[in-house]
Amino acid sequence: MESRIIQVGNSRGIRIPKRLILKYGLEDTVVLRETEQGILIEKDGDGRLSWAETYREMARSGEDWSDWADLDLQDIE
């Protein structure tokens, strides 16, 4: 797939087709890595969920998390 380098203000940039943005979950920021073959564009982040995303995933799971309220943290130490 080809993409043209375009003028963006005083810089240059490339356009990424929407289907690739959706397919790879690209958002506002990406990571650029130089490789021997060229430039690799990766999704930003380390693959871990934020606390808000973790909470949403837990809520979506349908699991009963109520037993966590009874957890005695002193037992963990």
- pLDDT band with cut points at 50, 70 and 90 for residue 76: low
Kindly state the tokens that stand for 10: 């005083």
pLDDT tens digits for 29-68?
Answer: 888 999 999 999 988 876 677 788 788 888 888 888 777 7
Name 5's bridge partners: 14
- CA 15 – CA 1 distance, rounded (Å): 12
Is pLDDT larger for residue 38 or for residue 28?
38
The pLDDT score that the predictor gives to residue 47 is: 64
